[in-house]
Amino acid sequence: MILRLAALAALFVVVADGAGAVSLREVIRACGDDGKTYCPKVGYGQPMQDCLIAHESQLGAACKGVVGKLKQGERVTLF
């Protein structure tokens, strides 16, 4: 399961240059279950982000928060 969650976020990762970033750990923790539920056959990276945005009203509160940050242009970082 951990590998599945890591894979969910792995291609979501973009190394950003500091401010305005969401950590990979935060993405996995907040959106792992929602990604598996609403986007099970969606590719990772931008397709996954687009799918989560499309299902935003159905997401849990933590994932909605992360998706909101991504919609504002924040990037996913490794750390």
Q: CA torsion, points 29, 50, 9, 45, in degrees to nearest 10?
A: -170
CA–CA distance, 54 with 15 (Å, rounded to integer): 24
pLDDT tens digits for range 1-56? 555 555 555 545 544 344 588 887 898 899 999 999 999 999 877 888 899 999 99
Task: Give the chain's domain count.
Answer: 1
Look at residue 3 in the predicted model and tell me its pLDDT. Answer: 57
pTM for the full predicted model? 0.73
Look at residue 18 in the predicted model and tell me its pLDDT. Answer: 46
Pull the structure tokens for residue 47. Answer: 């397709």
3 state SS of 18: coil
Domain membership of residue 36 as a residue range: 2-77
